[in-house]
Structure 1
Amino acid sequence: MDNYKSPVYNVIAVPLYKIEANNYNPNVVALPEMELLEKSIWEDGFTMPCVCYHDKDRDKYILVDGFHRYSILKRSPRIFGREKGMLPVVVIDKNLEERIASTIRHNRARGNHLVGLMSGIVAELTKAGMSDRWIMEHIGMDKDEILRLKQTSGLADLFADKDFSLP
């Protein structure tokens, strides 16, 4: 292992037509998160390569991780155009069983955002003068989620600019 080099040091640009989804990924992303992913890729670019296995016999790259990033490139004309139809990829050379395990590990390792930490982030952004609309647009939250997180934080000053009186 002295000469081991992580795949991330060998990112390559692969044309979309050479990439295939695997048939075993159980991960599903809801529409609002897919829209946020598209916005993230549009505003920040691809910041993480997809992980693929290269089937040399067919010269195809089978996704191990990154199906949703791949899907965005496939269905977003503006991103496809900007990226010239290329997806950043790292290649791992593993048998099918090991690739399945890698897919599951990648999915499970992402975890979930903790409510306490997210309410703290909303509180900091609000104190910094960011509007609820700004938070909605840049972090991908809806009004109800922001309200719940503000309530969770228990900070009355987060509601200072809101009118809660009855009409």
Structure 2
Amino acid sequence: MAERPAWTVRTAGPDDASALALVGAATFLDTFAGVIEGSAIVGHCAANHTAESYADLFAKGAQAWLGEAEGGAPVGYALIAEPDLAAALPGDVELKRIYSLSRFHGSGLGGALMSAAVAGAAEHDRLLLGVKADNHRAIAFYRKQGFDPLATRQFNVGGKLFDDLVLARPLS
């Protein structure tokens, strides 16, 4: 039986923007290559997974947690920020991103990142997130973490619209 890869989770900050961008683009490509058109993936990552875009999120009050493999390589992260979802109510916060490299799936990293995000969001009423409506693996993970369907929306990936589910988890 293969040994599970070792990792740690720590609070991330503006100095980690490049690491978050690297993991964000790598995991988005890994998850959606062959599912979403390549030019849409490249456009999405060029706009949303840059060090500057993460620095901007931190400047607006985002919180993040970084998963690192032995030796310090970034392998996953979670990031919460003010919601921009139509279904959001006062007191809500959004889990904007929770990603891990596929090699670390099943290692417990996703659960540890979710626990960090939930703890970081504790002063809020609900934690919301959007997930591609046909990403069954992610939806199953979120349901196991206490999220329930709340609404639907369309999500723009590189100029192409996709159906998303909006899920919510009560925090109080």
Q: For this structure pair, what is the TM-score category when the shorter chain's length is used for normalisation?
A: under 0.3
Q: Which one has a larger percent strand, Structure 1 or Structure 2?
A: 2
TM-score (norm 2): 0.26
TM-score (norm 1): 0.26
